[in-house]
Amino acid sequence: MERLKTFIEQKMSMSHIYQPVMIKVLLKNGGIANKNLIAKNILSYDFSQVEYYEGITNNMVGRVLRKNEVVLKHKNVFELKDYSSLGNKEISELITLCDQKIENYIAKRGTKIWEHRRRNRKPVKGSIRYLVLKRADGRCELCGISKDEKALEVDHITPKNKNGKDIIDNYQALCYTCNSNKRDTDDTDFRNLGVKYDLRETNCIFCNYKRETILENELAIAFYDKYPVTLKHILIIPKRHCENYFSLSQPEINAINRLTHELKSKLITEDKTITGFNIGFNVGEDAGQTVFHCHMHLIPRRKSDVTNPKGGIRNIIPNKGKY
Ligand code: 5GP
Ligand code: ZN
């Protein structure tokens, strides 16, 4: 008793709730428990998993059972209709019936029914997984939640069944709520339903761009501007045809951002005269946009390339640079 008490009270250094949960399970089960039972107990504390199944209960199973008049719903509580009319024998008969249904279903479909939730459903090498999570700075690349709050999974941006490649460019870190909302039904960003990354326009000069690309990744591509404002003026565009900045999905913003950082390093390494940048999107004709396939200007700047650089992009309105 003393040894355990001292350990729990004083020695146990916790980086999560796992240790007291495991000790509690052992205490409650005669001192012995297999890893499956311990895991199930940890799971019961994992609000993020529970939250996922609360969503399923409310929106799927709860709805169907209500429609069929099997259950009633009062706020967060479900009630089995006419439960009070059942005797104990009838209750256990119905439970057996449910157990049979569950067993038959699992026997027929196998573990496939949980495949969409499996941690290792898309085997991603440990080292690549590490790089993806590091690149995402430990946050979900769709909703931004930290890995400390919700477990992050490595997701294929373009799913494998749509010929998505097993390369780091095609991976993103998603919390598993975002990941399970996305599923792998198609290559859409679930927050912008209908975003098809393979969309190209026949008459668009950027969709049909054939000249040298400087860098590209899964969703974005960079090339030199044909009429450069300064030497090495680069355009970074989403591969998908879309009109402007506001039509970009989060994975595209991430892809463009990654290229921007890579190009910045490349440019300042190969051209020591570059000492600054202007970065920007023109949105709409009135703001000066002339090509209606979204593009970001990455404009290298050099000391004294204009007499008075003050204000930078403020100078899009003449004489407004200075304030
Ligand atoms: P916007 O005015 O729409 O923001 O920018 C369009 C940009 O596309 C301009 O900077 C222009 O120089 C560039 N541009 C227009 N046509 C071509 C082309 O055929 N190839 C390349 N590389 N750039 C182009
Ligand atoms: Zn286009």
Rounded average pLDDT over 179-189: 58
Which pLDDT tens digit goes with each residue over 264-317?
A: 999 999 999 999 999 999 999 999 999 999 999 999 999 999 999 999 999 999
Q: Where are the alpha helices (DSSP H) in the chain?
A: 2-6, 18-28, 35-45, 47-56, 62-67, 88-109, 126-135, 176-182, 250-270
From the CB of residue 255, how many other CB atoms can be counted at a distance below 10 Å? 25
How confident is the model over 37-59, as pLDDT tens digits? Answer: 999 999 999 887 788 788 888 88
Domain residues for the domain of 139 are 126-185
Atom of ligand 1 nearest to the CA of 295: 4
**Residue 188 confidence class, pLDDT cut points 50, 70, 90:** very low
Ramachandran category for residue 134: left, alpha or beta (phi over 0 → left; psi -120 to 50 → alpha): alpha
pTM score, whole prediction: 0.61
Confidence of residue 160 (pLDDT cuts 50, 70, 90): confident
Q: How far apart are CA 278 and CA 233, in angstroms?
A: 10
Pair (177, 271) in one structural domain: no
| Residue 67 lies inside a defined structural domain of this protein | no
String of DSSP letters for 168-212: GGGEEEEEHHHHHHHTTSSS--GGGTT--TT---TT-TTTT--S-
- Atom in ligand 1 nearest the alpha carbon of residue 289: 3
Task: pLDDT band for 211, please (50, 70, 90 cuts).
Answer: confident
Of the candidates 182, 121, 176, 184, the one whose C-alpha atom is nearest the C-alpha of residue 151 is: 176
Q: Which of 282, 290, 296 to mutate to test the pocket of ligand 1 (most atoms within 8 A of CB)?
A: 290
In a shared domain, residues 244 and 308? yes
User: What is the C-alpha to C-alpha distance for residues 266 and 223, in angstroms, rounded to an integer?
Assistant: 13
Per-residue DSSP letter, 311:
T
Distance 281 CA to ligand 2 centre (A): 15
207 belongs to a structural domain: no
User: In terms of domains, do 154 and 242 share one?
Assistant: no
Please count the structural domains in the chain. Answer: 3
Instruction: Centre a 10 Å sphere on the Cβ of residue 57 and count the other Cβ atoms it contains.
Output: 14
Q: Both 281 and 231 in a single domain? A: yes
Distance separating alpha carbons of residues 73 and 63, to the nearest angstrom: 9
